[in-house]
A and B are shown apart, each in its own frame.
Chain A
């Protein structure tokens, strides 16, 4: 088993699925040459330019054509170069992909995967940093995945491609080359909708996803060392449909819940998690359900100083843990 970066793991998932099933093909801007993050590097050489197709710079047509191709028997994986540029395709994803199956009473379906790099922390400014998961998690009929680790990325991308429903697959761009971990060369999948407890703990449940999982784990280590607070860290991995029971079970055990997400705090996906905990685990709580997220400013300012000020990090999360632990 080799240690891989997340972008390598994603490339492996794509090429393995394309080998496994000739219906799978990739389309998007610059994908033929490997893409701006190199996630599709080598696919054109192996599979030809039809199955690794450079498209015109037109996001609605990329997703719209993917929907059409899926209707006619293929399994398209559309790449949107940055999540910040997916908005022109919103109509296709929300009005079409998400609703086709329901509106036709189950007659038609739309097995597409839309991959896109999201998230801040790389000096991307307001148009290469956005978190978009809440927009899509709100829409019935879509599955929405957020990954920020090599192992999860490969296993979940394979599941997304094989899923008979439309999946929005969000890859945290800062995690593409941030660290390596062991990724099996063999075929494996991770079920969509399954959270994972990344760290066990007794005093508090910390629910997170995406890159914040890494920072939350750092913070949990830190507070365990200095104050003896034992934090259980759960990575949702899929935000829609999300693993409610996994989270509730942990909260019933710890009695406290801290939710950490990178997106703007208001209406962010963590708000849904908070509401569910408050509704379904109220009698187990001995502290307020608390959120740590970015304030409501456009994510994210270009200046590193401004960006660091805005985004949650391990230090801010540790402070949040201490505050809630003291309640």
Chain B
């Protein structure tokens, strides 16, 4: 029997790891779908999800060391959060604004991921504001002599924001251990990539900051993982930042308050769906003998059961006590 690591394109991952990648991708897809469903049922007031981004998110996060490396996510990064160790239950508690949500206890919108233990830093909603935080975290790592890596995630719309330039420039000057991951899904809400930038590959901007930039097929999880692994290796070795642009496609509206039929055709969405990251990886897994159809069905059933249990738990969990609304404006000193 052929060892899986001998399979061309497996990027050195073993069978268990490859199946785990698929599991995380399917989990991310399904949590997104579940949140949008709960929103339509009137249970969660808002949903922002990332169906279609699974390869870009899971592939990059899988190259990180959870709890050691830092993730500065944005509101689409369900796959990043789940890969680093947040659970569907964490995300659904946040979606339903429950008191015990580790993201925010019902203070922040859902999909504003946060876990101190996993070093997923609480995020905000203005785009790109988290990017300089990755640079500052990496600066502190360097000053403290630690080999941690900070990964800043943002979208193609956020790539236009000035602070991204400021951040990349500063990271380049000090050769900091930062990885800039742009999940380019080709739309900033309704504005297409052609109106966002005059260049096709945003990664060429890295040249201007003195570090490498790569544009990868963001719907191919193993290609994404390979680029991220290389970037992590460079960063840990002290060789500085990398800009990874993962070209992908958002298969769902921007948020539960958006109707994407206003700005793109159903045919376009269906075309991307046919070649979406889950379909492609599943085909690859089956084709290379990593998992049979039955085994993949089993992985999916396990994920679905986990989400069902998480939904049930989150729905039953208590809502925040209004008496706590005034707490934590400032650090409460002992």
Contacts and interface: CB of A to CB of B under 8 A. Distances in A.
B73 interface: no
Contacts of A109: 331
A68 B331 contact: no
Interface in A24-76: 25, 50-51, 55-56, 58, 60-61, 63-74, 76
B163 A96 contact: no
B150 interface: yes
A65 B170 contact: yes
Given A103-B104, A106-B332, A68 B137 contact: yes
Nearest to B172: A56
A290 interface: no
Contacts of A155: none
B16 interface: no
Contacts of B49: none
A55 to B, nearest CB: 7
A82 B174 CA distance: 25
Contact of A104 (B104, B170, B173, B329): B104
Nearest to A74: B140
A105 B143 contact: no
A256 interface: no
A64 B132 contact: yes
B195 interface: no
Interface in B76-130: 101-108, 112, 114, 116, 121-122, 124, 126, 129-130
B136 A67 contact: yes
Contacts of B138: 68
B134 interface: yes
A74 B143 contact: yes
Interface string B305-334: 000000000000000000000011111110
A252 interface: no
Contact of A100 (B122, B169, B333): B122
Given A101-B331, A102-B328, A61 B169 contact: yes
B116 A64 contact: no
B141 interface: yes
Which of B134, B328, B332 is most buried by chain A, counting CB atoms within 10 A of its CB? B328
Contacts of A291: none
A5 interface: no
A63 B328 CA distance: 22
Contacts of B106: 105
Contacts of B134: 68
A95 B129 contact: yes
A298 interface: no
B133 interface: yes
A271 to B, nearest CB: 22
B170 A58 contact: yes
B287 interface: no
Contacts of B143: 25, 50-51, 69, 74
Contacts of B70: 72
Contacts of A197: none
A71 B328 contact: no
A172 to B, nearest CB: 25
B73 to A, nearest CB: 13
B324 to A, nearest CB: 8
A91 B132 CA distance: 12
A315 B228 CA distance: 66
Contacts of B124: 95-96, 99, 103
A2 to B, nearest CB: 32
A164 interface: yes
26 contacts: A25-B143, A61-B166, A61-B169, A63-B132, A64-B166, A65-B133, A65-B167, A67-B132, A67-B133, A68-B132, A68-B140, A69-B136, A71-B140, A72-B140, A88-B162, A91-B129, A96-B130, A100-B122, A101-B329, A102-B107, A104-B103, A104-B114, A105-B104, A106-B328, A141-B330, A165-B331
Given A56-B166, A65-B170, 4 more contacts: A66-B136, A71-B140, A92-B129, A107-B102
Interface of B: 70, 101-108, 112, 114, 116, 121-122, 124, 126, 129-141, 143-144, 148, 150, 162-163, 166-167, 169-170, 173, 327-333
10 smallest beta-carbon distances between A and B, as pairs: A68-B136, A64-B132, A105-B105, A61-B166, A65-B136, A72-B140, A68-B133, A58-B166, A104-B122, A106-B328
Interface of A: 25, 50-51, 55-56, 58, 60-61, 63-74, 76, 88, 91-92, 95-96, 99-109, 111, 140-141, 143, 164-165
